[in-house]
Structure 1
Amino acid sequence: MRHLPIIAALCLSASATFAEEPVIYETDQSFDDVTFGLESAIIDAGLVIDHISHTGEMLERTRADIGSDKVLFQAADVYSFCSASVSRSVMEADLKNVMYCPYDIFVMVAADKPDTTVIGYRPFPEGPMQEVQQMLDGIVRNAIGIE
């Protein structure tokens, strides 16, 4: 029982970490244009898309099965990929940075904001992982044409 306060403190610390807001950019470009731009930006950076998770389609397909009548997205996909050079750099700094790989960028159009496409990613901690965050930010900005 002596360890309970320590465990509680660790849980609170972990909750605070997960509560960070994503880095997002909003655009009036269509979902298809943004996903095309994202795919192109990833490939132009010399990277390979490992997986595209069609999260919006899955949630809509299973909506009735779980008893929900709320439509969340018009579209929502998550692109996963990795960079051998950036990953090596951040993992040479700290092997535990493996937990962040692969890296994800999401694109979504909320059902209640059909004229706005959102593209973004989760923020990374200060230190070596900022190299990943800079890479993701460059890819996102490239995808939607921001210099």
Structure 2
Amino acid sequence: MTRTGAKIAGGLALIAAVAAVSGPAARAADLIEGVTTYTLEAPFEDVRFDLEGAIVNRGLVIDYTSHIGDMLARTAADVGASKDVFVNAQSMLFCSAVLSRKAMEADPANIAYCPYTVFVYETPDAPGTVTVGFRRLAETGSDASKAAIGEVNALLDEIVREAAGQ
């Protein structure tokens, strides 16, 4: 093997090692306009735990966890449903006192955005594939309002990226 070939082989081995250590790769997608999602191959509970940690480790408090998948399964017979939508599905609601105050000082109507919601789910059609995401808030109003809402969107994206291993 030539010196150049050895360097290339060594570089490829390094890339493979980094990829193996860095965990599952997440793919970004906008499944619905205005909704940002990341999909990865991982156990649902691990991603859910990482999503919770990404929120709490920033000093934020989860006000409510909505067990959407459980609710749909529990009420399926009552509404005549014949399809399982999720294997697991939850959303978490929380706010940032700093960012919410900034947004509402810029425009009191921004109260409509609080609390923020992030979600995580796995479907029966793709077991082992977990999607994590958030609904992007509309950056409208004054320049100060747009900037404040932009900061909230950036925070939400950071949180779901962290949970997706990005």
TM-score per shorter chain, which class?
0.7 to 0.9
2:102 maps to 1:89: yes
2:154 maps to 1:141: no
Alignment of 1:103-142 (within 5 A): 103-126=116-139, 127=146, 128-142=148-162
Shift of 1:109: 0.4
Secondary structure in structure 1 of the residue aligned to 2:136: coil
Number of residue pairs the alignment of both structures matches: 128
2:64 maps to 1:51: yes
Per-residue Cα deviation, 1:67-88 (whole angstroms, up to 9, x for no partner): 1111100000000001100101
Structure 1: where are the runs of 5+ without partners? Answer: 1-18
Give me the CA root mean square deviation: 1.1
Instruction: List 4+ stretches of structure 1 deviating above 6 A.
Output: none
Per-residue Cα deviation, 1:75-124 (whole angstroms, up to 9, x for no partner): 00000001100101111111110001000000000121112100000011
Shift of 1:51: 0.4
Structure 2: where are the runs of 5+ without partners? Answer: 1-31, 140-145
- What is the TM-score of this pair, normalised by structure 2? 0.74
Shift of 1:66: 1.0
Contact 1:91 1:98 in 2 (8 A): yes
What is the percentage of aligned positions where both structures have the same residue? 47
Specify the structure having the higher radius of gyration (Cα). Answer: 2
- What is the TM-score of this pair, normalised by structure 1? 0.83
Secondary structure in structure 2 of the residue aligned to 1:71: coil
Task: State the distance in 1 between where 2:34 and 2:87 align.
Answer: 22
